[in-house]
Amino acid sequence: MGEHFPDTEGVGSSILPAPTMKELSAVRVDIKKRRHVHDRPPTPVLGSGRLSRVEIFLSTEEIEVLRHSSAHILAQAVKELYPKALLAIGPAIPEGFYYDFDFDRPFTPEDLHAIEKRMAEIVKRNLPIVRKELLRIDAIRLFKEKGEDYKLELIAGFPDETFSVYEQGDFVDLCRGPHLRYTGKAKAFKLLSIAGAYWRGDEKNKMLQRVYGTAFLNKDELKAHLDKLDEAKKRDHRKLGKELDLFSINDEAGGGLVLWHPKGARIRKAIEDFWRDEHYKAGYELVFTPHVARLDLWKQSGHWDFYRENMYSPMDVEGVEYELKPMNCPFHIMIYNSSMKSYRDLPIRLAELGTVYRFERSGVLHGLMRVRGFTQDDAHIYCTREQLGSEIDRVIEFVLYILRTFGFSEFEAYLSTMPEKFVGEPAVWDEATEALKEGLERHNLSYKVDEGGGAFYGPKIDLKIKDSIGRSWQCSTIQVDFNLPEKFDVNYIGEDSKRHRPIMIHRALMGSLERFFGVLIEHYAGAFPTWLSPVQALVMTITDKQIAYADGVLDKLRKAGIRAELDKRNEKIGYKIREAQMQKVPYMLVVGEKEMENEGVAVRKRSAEDIGFMDMDGFVAMIKEESMRKG
């Protein structure tokens, strides 16, 4: 699949169209004049109640400046409390900020509390934040006197002859800005965590301590964000994965390698069965390809040149170098090229749940969200230029159908266009970009344009999904490729009996099966809809007298294709029900003397709703119908 690398975490963002260049230029000029956002003039509110594109831009600038200034207040607090700590860098990031420090001992939770308290004192002082321009020699002298070696390294890395610094009281930091005018403007902040981070992201460099925080324009927004973080902790797929016995990652097997437990495997099978069935219905052919190939194949495809850092070291097989596959694309091309194709054969759609392997640094591994071995729901479509628009329409429609079936209804789309360096003809690029654009618009998807953000081989659409607590996750991607068909001499015989080059579309609907599963866990907080639940019905006995009958109930359920289990422990029924609710089982079937006599079950839902007595045929029909409609 092209260059689709799953993100580590979701970031919320607006899906209104970006401001025009004229609008942005006017805003940026105004910001440069003021340099401080707290004194900006009020922006108009549109009659519809929605923010204008310029307002959203200003709001984004404002919050970024606030968070950047909060990072400086954090750094000042650390220097006041721990003068020997060295400063590295401290930018604003989506939903917060961080600062990296070099300190001779690990920061503790008690340190974090003390730092946050000192930050509040600095805010209360309402110190002016003053920008100054220094000549290179003066900037070097300043930070040499302060013993700030990381700042000196940063200065050495830039060719500038002047550098800007920002002062607030006795604290000074190298920074381009802009910042707030006074520290007193940063009143709604919270420190969140401490993590390790290599200087400049290079594991060959020293490990620093990164302090994360967040800041908002007011305390209500901060509280809402912290509540969202608390909810996210409860939904953490790593925590729920352990509690619900879905998966594990064991260092003895290797970091970033997922072990699917029986219950997780049941969910995976339900996902894969649905995926395969829908692909056959949509006109795809399913294929299977090896996990390794000769290194020469990856050199020919260009992956060895462009993705070497994400590939493992080659292995020697009888004197020939082989490589674990990071992508499925070359194999699908080889299947296409195994016989000559006619224009009458196109479009050809090849799909695979293909497991790929990519080298990720241990510091970025994160549960199911960033792993080293994962399964892509990959597909490659080979079509003529005339078929491109209709194929893109089909893919967008397919993407939305699949994602909506899994319970997602809000999407953010991004259209990435031709970069400075590209392959193919500009006219074909324009056709492909217009086809992607028209497809988005026909499906009423608001989108942002990422000018020049396409891959060198073609434009693309990236689609993010929003989960039940409003977080965005990179998911689907649709990429048009003019490059690989050239590299592998992919052809078809046209109506004119001449060879022509097809256009290749890469697409993934879920992206990574592992990552998508992690998102599903958090989206549903582990309470999966019935069709996905690893245990759809749990049969439970009141006394040992019902065990034989309960075994028969279990057998009937399983023969009907229902994922069911039996709890025949010698425990009180109330305890069994509470445990089943903790395991988020959709249906609990209580079997006592009455149920056994009347050949049925007493049905309870995990929501505590008591449905009451049902005969077996009635319950089987109900749960099968619910599963079939994906409810």
Report the 3 state secondary structure along 497-517: CCEECCEEEEEEEEEEHHHHH
Whether residue 352 is found in the same domain as residue 482: yes
- 528 in a domain, yes or no? no
Whether residue 222 is found in the same domain as residue 277: no
How many angstroms from the chain centroid is the CA of residue 97? Answer: 19
112 sits in which H/E element: helix 109-125
For residues 115 and 213, give the distance between their C-alpha atoms in angstroms, rounded to a whole number.
Answer: 11
Whether residue 511 is found in the same domain as residue 562: no
Q: How many CA atoms lie within 13 A of 95 on its CB side?
A: 15
How many angstroms from the chain centroid is the CA of residue 139? Answer: 40
Question: In which domain, by residue range, is 198 found?
Answer: 35-231
- 9 in a domain, yes or no? no
Whether residue 498 is found in the same domain as residue 544: no
Whether residue 349 is found in the same domain as residue 461: yes
196: its two tokens: 């390790």
CATH of the domain at 52: 3.30.980.10
Domain count of the fold of the chain: 3
Ranges of beta strands (E only) in 284-347 are 285-286, 292-294, 315-317, 320-324
- 22 in a domain, yes or no? no
Whether residue 127 is found in the same domain as residue 246: no
Whether residue 208 is found in the same domain as residue 279: no
For residues 484 and 12, give the distance between their C-alpha atoms in angstroms, rounded to a whole number.
Answer: 33
4 is catalytic: no
Which position among 151, 181, 210, 380 bears the catalytic label?
380
The dihedrals phi and psi of 595, each to the nearest 5 degrees, come to -65, -40
The dihedrals phi and psi of 567, each to the nearest 5 degrees, come to -110, 100
Return the closest-CA partner of residue 2 out of 517, 361, 519, 511: 511
- 118 in a domain, yes or no? yes
- 3-state percent breakdown (helix, strand, coil) of the chain, nearest 5: 40, 25, 35
Which position among 506, 507, 515, 604 bears the catalytic label?
506
The residue out of 522, 545, 567 marking a domain boundary is 522
- 60 in a domain, yes or no? yes
Which position among 76, 168, 209, 376 bears the catalytic label?
376
**Residues forming a β-bridge with 587:** 537, 605
For residues 560 and 587, give the distance between their C-alpha atoms in angstroms, rounded to a whole number.
Answer: 16
- 383 in a domain, yes or no? yes
The mean of the pLDDT values for the chain is 89
What is the predicted pLDDT for the residue at 631? 64
DSSP single-letter state for residue 101: E
Task: State whether the Cα torsion 58-64-67-73 is positive or negative.
Answer: negative
Whether residue 377 is found in the same domain as residue 350: yes
376 is catalytic: yes
Which position among 378, 467, 481, 567 bears the catalytic label?
378
Which position among 358, 372, 394, 523 bears the catalytic label?
358
For residues 474 and 11, give the distance between their C-alpha atoms in angstroms, rounded to a whole number.
Answer: 9
pLDDT at 422 over 80: yes
Per-residue pLDDT band at 302 (split at 50, 70, 90): confident
For residues 564 and 423, give the distance between their C-alpha atoms in angstroms, rounded to a whole number.
Answer: 54
DSSP single-letter state for residue 76: H
506 is catalytic: yes
Which position among 36, 237, 329, 387 bears the catalytic label?
329
Whether residue 112 is found in the same domain as residue 252: no
> Beta-carbon neighbour count of residue 58 at 10 Å?
20
The residue out of 176, 202, 231 marking a domain boundary is 231
DSSP single-letter state for residue 311: S
| Model confidence pLDDT, tens digit, residues 186-208 | 999 999 999 999 999 888 899 99
Which position among 181, 460, 507, 604 bears the catalytic label?
460
For residues 250 and 273, give the distance between their C-alpha atoms in angstroms, rounded to a whole number.
Answer: 27
What is the predicted pLDDT for the residue at 47? 28
| Model confidence pLDDT, tens digit, residues 230-285 | 999 999 999 999 999 999 999 999 999 999 999 999 999 999 999 999 999 999 99
263 is catalytic: no
Whether residue 49 is found in the same domain as residue 186: yes
Whether residue 144 is found in the same domain as residue 280: no
65: its two tokens: 């400046």
271 sits in which H/E element: helix 262-281
User: In angstroms, what is the C-alpha Rg of the chain?
Assistant: 29
The residue out of 471, 490, 522 marking a domain boundary is 522
| Model confidence pLDDT, tens digit, residues 473-515 | 999 999 999 889 999 999 999 999 999 999 999 999 999 999 9
557 sits in which H/E element: helix 547-559
358 is catalytic: yes
Q: What is the pTM of this model?
A: 0.83
